[in-house]
Amino acid sequence: MNKTELTWYKVLDSREEILENRVMTVTAGHKELMLSRFEGHICVLDNRCPHQGGPLGEGSIENGILRCPWHGWDFHPCTGKAPGFDDGVDTYPVEERKDGIYVGIPAEKPHETTLSDIMAGTMVNWGIDTVFGMVGHSNLGFADSLRRLEEKGSLKFIAIRHEGAASFAASAYGKLTGKPAACFSIAGPGATNMFTGLWDAKVDRAPVLALTGQVATQVVGTGNFQEVDLVKAFQTVAEFNHRVQRDSQHAELMSLAVKHALLKRDVSHLTFPDEIQDLPAGDAKPQTPEGRTGSNQIAPSGESLDKALDLIKKSKRPVIIAGHGARFNMEAITLFAETLNAPVLTTFKGKGLIPDSHPLAGGVLGRSGTPVASWFMNESDLLIVFGASFSNHTGITDKKPTIQVDFDQMALAKFHAIDAPIWGEISVTLSMMQKTMKNLPGTTDQRPELEKRWKIWRDEKKKRLGEDRGKGLSSIAVMDSLSRLAPDNAVVCVDVGNNAYSLGRYFESGNHSFLMSGYLGSIGFALPAAIGAWSSTRGERPVIAVAGDGGFAQYMAELTTSVKYDMDIKIILLNNSELGKISKEQRSGGYDVFATDMHNPDFAAYANGCGALGIRITLKDELDEALNTILTHKGTALLEIVSDVNLV
């Protein structure tokens, strides 16, 4: 080997760092090497055993022979030869200089564009700027492409502690922005861990791109380590679901994956066999979305619009119901409500779409809602529903004349017949409606009644605020304090359980955005969702996670993720040492309470141990001061509140 063609790397400060007859792994540039000290010499071999790829630097020298740690094959520690055989491993020149031990390796070739580079570049061109995931042995090639994009400033990679948190974070990102993020895993268990978060995204219509590694194609079907048929496994959850092949149209495949997620508001999945990821891409270039999508401004038919307008003409007490699907159209909906003097109620998933301080705000409808909303629905003579799905939880009555507007034809009249189903984009539909509103007869101004009903409900909340059984704080006390002290523009991520019901019922929203696991109702959502929300806003909005002890404990390791990336996330943790909602359901169903009690750590101490700020309180008098300290802290912080399981 010509020394002039070598690049020299310092691998040890001195020979004293390694003992006689010992071996170790060192790195020179991007190459791993085995270094040994044998018979007074420092020797360096290729670290990879030629048979199974075992790391020779983790082996041992026995009777003057280096033994592979994986299958016991023997090599000479300095020559690399296998005694009695014609195979061996490469050797590398070593120089012992004044400042340390140096190894010479051939100069690295410039990086050659790979298929992973093309596909990752296409993904970024389509607007995906955030990936949540875990790097591992079956996705290393694609991960290296993500690293290069992050170094260029085109992408942010958030390394999570559990792949389920990655998919929940991506789901929350899609719910908040309407744009997909990606979640990323290895083959086998890493991929299957993402399943719950992907179903959360699917049923709540959040766009997500799932990227998984896969075992090498040549061993598929042999029961190889971590082999799972991921295309088959993801068939039920992914609208677009394909294995990347050697001869695939790689940029086109990624374009279609992102396009499906974005336009269908669904999950797309691509899985990358190990041997595909580093293949040279030749002259291929990443694609862009230019010319690949049309306008989504769907206009309703004249017939459906006329039917709706006829119902509005006859109405004196119309009520508007806005669901999560209306979140990007609230300016038009609020203007429409003001034209009709109509209260605006929201579903629980739509909480916060109109501030509770607005004179036409009617609060949340349904099981997690307020008596204000249900009263106005019951007293109405027409329901005008935007972007809501009529779930049992929301309880939109089928006994009132109803207009429903949705971009998705399958969502129209999903559970029962609707008097006037309108297929159209909400803002376009409202713009067309507004042009005819001047000629409509006047409706009843329901603002005075709204003011009256809010006063009745707020007086009731004051009564409940005084309840104290000496067994911890009440949920209403927590939500009252949070309503007063939380920043008006915060993103609030709520978990599943009594904490969610209490937040829906008692928290009075300003310009907040709320994220929850809606149709799937998956416990553990709040903290990973907060990571997704923080990533989507890049810290420009405060992010608050509200969780119970049961939900927080499922992904509590992600607190270290929040600290690692200096996320300004605040966790409000209601600790009642019980799965309180399940206990309630057991009693309601006539069952004995069983297996719902919990043995918890000191969550505040845990938060401090993770590098966050943790505070624990047990008394109501401590609440405002502690909450204010948490909310004003710069960085990740957790407030553990010992709460009464029965005061929800």
Contacts for 77-85: CB closer than 8 Å, 24+ residues apart: 77/23, 77/36, 77/38, 77/43, 77/45, 78/36, 78/38, 78/39, 78/41, 78/43, 80/45, 80/46
Within a domain: residue 629?
A: yes
Contacting residues for 220 by C-beta, under 8 A, at least 6 apart: 214, 227, 229, 273
Q: Tokens for 627?
A: 């909450």
Q: Are residues 395 and 310 in the same domain?
A: yes
With residue 436 as reference, give the H or E element that holds it: none
End position of a domain, from candidates 88, 106, 124: 106
Q: What is the pLDDT of residue 5?
A: 85
CA atoms of 117 and 279, how far apart (whole Å): 10
Q: Are residues 129 and 256 in the same domain?
A: yes
Within a domain: residue 290?
A: no
Q: Are residues 160 and 181 in the same domain?
A: yes
Tell me if residue 158 falls in helix, strand or coil: strand
End position of a domain, from candidates 84, 106, 128: 106
Q: Are residues 95 and 147 in the same domain?
A: no
Q: What is the pLDDT of residue 391?
A: 86
Single-letter amino acid code for the residue at 337: A
Within a domain: residue 292?
A: no
Q: What percent of the chain has pLDDT over 70?
A: 99
Contacting residues for 449 by C-beta, under 8 A, at least 6 apart: 376
CA atoms of 261 and 174, how far apart (whole Å): 10
Q: What is the pLDDT of residue 290?
A: 95
Q: Are residues 518 and 611 in the same domain?
A: yes
- The torsion of the CA quartet 582, 583, 586, 591, rounded to 10 degrees, works out to 150
Q: Are residues 85 and 123 in the same domain?
A: no
Closest among 160, 62, 18 to 562, alpha carbons compared: 160
Q: How far is CA 268 from CA 111, 135, 418, 460, 630, in A?
A: 29, 20, 32, 47, 38
Angle between helices 163-177 and 526-537 (to 10 degrees): 50
- Centroid of chain to Cα 384: 32
CA atoms of 12 and 255, how far apart (whole Å): 47
Single-letter amino acid code for the residue at 46: D
Q: What is the pLDDT of residue 4?
A: 57
Q: What is the pLDDT of residue 442?
A: 80
Q: Are residues 94 and 121 in the same domain?
A: no
With residue 106 as reference, give the H or E element that holds it: strand 100-106
Q: How far is CA 410 from CA 127, 396, 423, in A?
A: 27, 18, 10
| Number of domains the chain is built from | 4
Provide the terminal-to-terminal Cα distance of the chain, rounded to the nearest Å: 76
Q: What is the pLDDT of residue 285?
A: 96
Alpha helix positions (H), 14-162 = 115-125, 140-151
CATH code, domain with 356: 3.40.50.1220
Within a domain: residue 567?
A: yes
Within a domain: residue 317?
A: yes
Within a domain: residue 295?
A: no
Q: How far is CA 295 from CA 48, 324, 478, in A?
A: 54, 21, 44
Which domain, by its residues, includes 356? 302-449
Which bin fits 307, alpha (ψ -120 to 50), beta or left (φ > 0)?
alpha
C-beta neighbour count of 449 within 10 angstroms:
17
CA atoms of 20 and 41, how far apart (whole Å): 9
Q: What is the pTM of this model?
A: 0.93
Q: How far is CA 571 from CA 473, 641, 644, in A?
A: 17, 11, 18
Q: Quote the Cα angle for 122-117-262, to 5°.
A: 25
Q: Are residues 136 and 253 in the same domain?
A: yes
Q: What is the pLDDT of residue 436?
A: 77
Q: Are residues 329 and 437 in the same domain?
A: yes
Going 262 to 263 to 264 to 265, the CA torsion angle's sign is positive
CA atoms of 448 and 178, how far apart (whole Å): 36
Q: What is the pLDDT of residue 441?
A: 66
Q: Are residues 475 and 505 in the same domain?
A: yes
CATH code, domain with 123: 3.40.50.970
Q: Tokens for 490?
A: 């915060």
Closest among 206, 227, 321, 312 to 273, alpha carbons compared: 227
Alpha helix positions (H), 152-193 = 163-177, 189-193
Single-letter amino acid code for the residue at 379: E
Contacting residues for 25 by C-beta, under 8 A, at least 6 apart: 32, 33, 34, 35, 47, 55, 57, 58
Closest among 235, 237, 145, 133 to 190, alpha carbons compared: 133
CATH code, domain with 92: 2.102.10.10
Could you say which residues of the chain have pLDDT below 50? 1
Q: What is the C-alpha radius of gyration for the chain, rounded to an integer number of angstroms?
A: 30
Tell me if residue 44 falls in helix, strand or coil: strand
Within a domain: residue 647?
A: no
Q: Are residues 260 and 160 in the same domain?
A: yes
Q: Are residues 415 and 351 in the same domain?
A: yes
